[in-house]
Each structure stands twice: as C-alpha cells, then as structure tokens.
Structure 1
Amino acid sequence: MKILVIEDNESVCEMIEMFFSKEGIHGEFVHDGLEGYNRFKAEHWDLLIIDWMLPGMEGVSLCRKIRQEGSTIPIIMLTAKDSESDQVLGLEMGADDYVTKPFSPLALMARIRAVSRRYTSANAMAVETDYLSTKYFKISKETREVFINEKPVTNLTPKEFELLYYFLQHPRQVFSREQLLERVWGYQYYGDERTVDVHIKRLRKKLGTADLPFFHTVWGVGYKFDETVE
C-alpha cells in the first residue's frame, strides 16, 4: 500500500512513519497543502491522509478540490477540530473518515484498514452491479453518472452519490442511521449520526419534488427509498 500523508507537524509524521514501517506500508510525507496536491496529481496513491490545518491550502479545501476533479481515492482527515459541525463539514467535503487529534497510531491503522476494505469491496461490487435503472433513475457506478427522468444530475457529492446508489439497490427497505453509516461509510461509525440526516436532506433537495420526495422518514426507525409513495 502506498499512502500520501499531508501533515505539517513533523512529530506526527514521524510517529505515523514508524507504524507504517511496521505494517509494511510505503508512506510519503508532505508538509504543505499545495505541495501535497501536486504530489497527489503526479503519482498513483492507494490512500490519502490529510491534516485539516495546512499551510498553502487547507486540508478541507484540498479534499474538496480532489473530489471536484472526480477522484474517488480514499481520504482520511486528521483534525484537532472535534466539534460536530466540523466533523460533518469534513465528511461533506468528501472525506471517507476522520481521526481527531491526539490519536492512537493503532486507531489510525484500524481506520486505514477499514476504509481500504470498503474501497476494495465497493470496486468489486461495481464490477458486478455497475448500472442500475429504476422507474425514475438511471445510475452508473463506473462513470458516476446519474439521470432522473432522463435528465443528468451533476451536483452530487461523492457520499451523496454512494448513498443514492445504496438506496437504489435496496428499494423500499428501511435502514436505521447506524446501518447506513456502517454500509455506506463502510465501518461501525462512532460519532455523530446527524451526518446521515444532512445527506438525506441534501438528496431530497437535489432530487425530490413535493409530489415525489423519494427519501422517506420512517419515524423511530430511519429512512427508506420509495418511488411509489407520495
């Protein structure tokens, strides 16, 4: 595994490098956000670890830029910001996971493995079930294209796309927030379940109408996708 770490704290980098060595991971370390972006573009990487606060370009802006360019590379953010809104913002910008400083290197390694497993599993599933077509939607996991009533949808974030794809695979099935976090985010998520509510709200706004909201709240349980219920 080849990981690019964009972190300006050299002590943190040294700690991560030591554990990478034990795990047989090849790590490259960059201390500036803009330089990190250039290194990301210049080489192939299996995963990115990005600090939130960076010189040159903030980590959250770097993450957003990478996602806007269409990359689906797994991203873990390191952050000293532990407020609810900051955590949701990091996920909204396209991060797959975040680790709050100070952190245990063992915990970071666990997150790396979890995100990598989810990424590998998602790619395997994409080969088997790349294209889905329903009454109103057509969606391709390979090309990341979404059509509703034959009209293209181009404003979905990576996580919104993944959440929509998962719902389309399981029409009318009710999922709790915990289940969606585990199956879409790819691990047992310990933290704020509100990120699911945020993503559902945004999908309703971008895709639904007053007559067909598509994403329905099942009170006391969670959410379901249904194209037939008004």
Structure 2
Amino acid sequence: MLQMFDDPPVGAKPSSWSPRILVVDDDPDMRQMVVNFLLDNGLRATATVERQEVERQVARDDLALVVLDLRLGAQSGLTLLREIRARSDIPVIIITGERRDEVDRVIGLELGADDYVTKPFSPRELLARIRAVLRRHAASPRPNRESIRQRFADWMLDRRMRRLTSPDGVEVRLTKGEFALLCAFLDAPGRPLAREHLLQATRVHEDVFDRSIDVQVLRLRRKLDAGRSVSMIRTERGVGYTFDVLVERI
C-alpha cells in the first residue's frame, strides 16, 4: 500500500521515499522530457518502451504508478494496459492522441486506467494528475487479507487478482467500474445502498462518459444473472440497491 505524502515543492529532488513512476512511450524525446520533469519535481522516474521491461517493473514492489502512451509504435498500448491490469492494480495514467480521438480514451478508462492526459499536454498538468491519482490510491480502502477472496451464489471473486469466476469455472471480465461496484455490494450484503454511495464507490475519473449508476448496475446484472430467475441485485425504490445474496469470505 502506498504511503500518503505531501507534494514536494517545485524543483525538489527525489528522496529515498519518493514514489517511483514508470514512463512507457516510444518517443525518446517525450520519454526524456517527462522523466526529467518528474525528477526535477521530487519524484523518481524511469522510462522504457520494451514490453518485457514493463512486466519486470510492474512486478517490483516500489513502483507507484505507470504513465502509458496508448499510441506505441510496435505494439498496442491498449494491449499493454490489459496486461498490466491483469497482473496488478497499480495506478495507470494513459496518454492519448488529439482530443477528437475519444475512442481510445474511453476504452482505456473501461480497461482500468485511472486517469488520462491528451496530447499536447503540459508537464505540469501531468504532474498534477500523477499526484492526484497517488493520493486517491493511497487513501482508498484495501480489503483485509481475510476478505481477498469472496464466494457468493457459487461465484468467486479474487479481489487481489481482480478475477471473477462463474459457477461454471469461466472467468468473467469486469470493467473497473463494474469491479468497484461488485466490491461495494460484497462489502455490504443484504444492506440497502444509496445510489450516491454506489456512485462514489465506482467513480474512477471526473470525465467518465457515463455517470449513471443505474446503467452500471444493469451491466453488472447482465453478467451475474444469466440463467437465474431472480436477480442478485434488488432495486430498493427511492433508496438504491441491495445485494440479496449470502457472501462468504475465504
């Protein structure tokens, strides 16, 4: 778990406790510019464009955040994002193309990116977003070891691996919002949860294109209720929703 930290002053040099940032970009000038700016502002930073090196870095305990350009030349940034998210819940900020290129940004957020910047961007904006994501990540609750795996109606959720398995043993993919929504339900089975509470639990980014908690619940229902006569998620009129299934911690 990341330690909470105060933003170092502009121009501060990295210290031994500074969060370490990995910059993944195939433009050497861009890589060097971002790394130098982060180093000049009190963060430790390294850069790479090699897929194997990304995997090695993500596996390290001291890596705090990844800055990932989606427009990588020899490989897909979205594919690399999928691989990172399959292995880790480390925060990821994606760099996307021009503002009209909305599709990659939306897909990136759906795949689990925590934030994004759009080219051309200011290094100061990137630094501000990095600090904000690190604060959110450090402040967000983490499940206890006893509650990392949870079973409900023969389904299994491994929260550490972000893996949901159906009663048939099939892995069911969840977006980051759906995963956060399911975790909120599993943490409070049988208890009515207000829409405002669920919206806050699933809020990934201020600019997420679909803020309707009802739409997110509908999507999660479709994945969980296939073949069931009664939905696991019961609508509470005027209140919100209740997860109406027994949850067992493993």
TM-score by length of structure 2 reads: 0.68
What displacement does 1:126 show?
Answer: 1.5
In the TM superposition, what are the counterparts of 1:1-230 in structure 2 within 5 Å? 1-30=19-48, 32=49, 35=50, 37-43=51-57, 44=60, 45-68=63-86, 70-82=87-99, 83-122=101-140, 125-127=142-144, 130-131=147-148, 136=153, 139-142=157-160, 144=162, 146=164, 154-157=171-174, 159=176, 160-170=178-188, 171-176=191-196, 180=198, 182-185=200-203, 189-194=206-211, 199-209=216-226, 211-215=229-233, 224-227=241-244
How far apart, CA to CA, are the structure 2 residues paired with 1:97 and 1:161? 17
How far apart, CA to CA, are the structure 2 residues paired with 1:84 and 1:201? 24
- Mark the runs of 5 or more structure 1 residues left unpaired by the alignment: none
How far apart, CA to CA, are the structure 1 residues paired with 2:174 and 2:70? 19
How far apart, CA to CA, are the structure 1 residues paired with 2:134 and 2:169? 30
Distance 1:107 1:138, change over 3 A: same
How far apart, CA to CA, are the structure 2 residues paired with 1:206 and 1:52? 28
Tell me the C-alpha RMSD between the 2 structures: 3.5
Percent of residue pairs bearing the same amino acid type: 31
Q: Is the 8 A contact 1:84 1:192 kept in 2?
A: no
The one-letter code sitting in structure 2 at the alignment partner of 1:39 is E
Distance 1:23 1:212, change over 3 A: farther
How far apart, CA to CA, are the structure 2 residues paired with 1:186 and 1:19? 26
What displacement does 1:192 show?
Answer: 1.8
Q: Is the 8 A contact 2:91 2:134 kept in 1?
A: yes
TM-score by length of structure 1 reads: 0.73
Q: Is the 8 A contact 1:145 1:152 kept in 2?
A: no
- Tell me how many residue pairs correspond in the alignment: 217
Helix, strand or coil for the counterpart of 1:125?
coil
What displacement does 1:89 show?
Answer: 0.9
What displacement does 1:16 show?
Answer: 1.9
Answer with 1 or 2: which has the greater Rg.
2
Q: Is the 8 A contact 2:234 2:243 kept in 1?
A: yes
Which stretches of structure 1, 4 residues or longer, exceed 4 Å deviation after superposition? 131-135, 137-140, 143-148, 150-153, 179-182, 194-199, 215-219
Higher normalized helix content (fraction of residues): 1
